[in-house]
């Protein structure tokens, strides 16, 4: 499966960015690690994507279908958080993110998203 393209305008260190309406957003990377899992983007169109989820040493592969979010930046605790895309958190699971145990199920769910 081919990784979808994101219109990127520059490279923010190792982080790609995209400019929309004059705001430069950090883009969710094609590969990242979180909570002991490795994630690899398999497909993306706009703000919907499929990520393969694996755990080192485990033969199990799950697939996360997500509707990515975006924020325009904000201040928190005296620090400025740069504008960026967001991966759905656990409170949004079942609303903006779904775990599938097969790539076929993930593609079906992905195709149902707007």
pLDDT in tens, 16-25: 888 888 888 8
Question: What's the full length of the chain, in residues?
Answer: 114
pLDDT digits (tens, 9 = 90+) for 85-97: 999 999 999 999 9
Alpha helices in the chain (DSSP H): 103-112
Residue with tokens 């195709």: 111
Contact 25, 83 (CB under 8 A): yes
Q: How confident is the model at residue 8 (pLDDT cuts 50, 70, 90)?
A: very low
Give percent of the chain above pLDDT 70: 88
Distance of CA 67 to the CA centre of its chain: 8
Contact 100, 109 (CB under 8 A): yes
pLDDT surpassing 80 at residue 52:
yes
pLDDT of 14 reads: 60
CA-CA-CA-CA dihedral for 79, 81, 87, 93, to nearest 10: 50
Give the other-Cβ count within 10 Å of 67's Cβ: 18
pLDDT of 77 reads: 93
pLDDT of 23 reads: 84
pLDDT surpassing 80 at residue 3:
no
């Amino acid at each position: 499966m081919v990784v979808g393209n994101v219109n990127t305008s520059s490279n923010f260190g190792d982080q790609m960015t995209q400019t929309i309406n004059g705001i430069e957003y950090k883009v969710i990377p094609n590969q990242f690690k979180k909570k002991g899992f490795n994630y690899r983007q398999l497909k993306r169109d706009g703000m919907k994507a499929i990520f393969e989820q694996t755990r080192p040493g485990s033969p199990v592969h799950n697939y996360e279908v997500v509707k990515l979010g975006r924020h325009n930046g904000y201040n928190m605790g005296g620090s400025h958080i740069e504008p960026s895309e967001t991966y759905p958190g656990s409170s949004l699971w079942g609303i903006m993110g779904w775990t599938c145990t097969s790539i076929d199920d993930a593609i079906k769910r992905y195709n149902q998203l707007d």
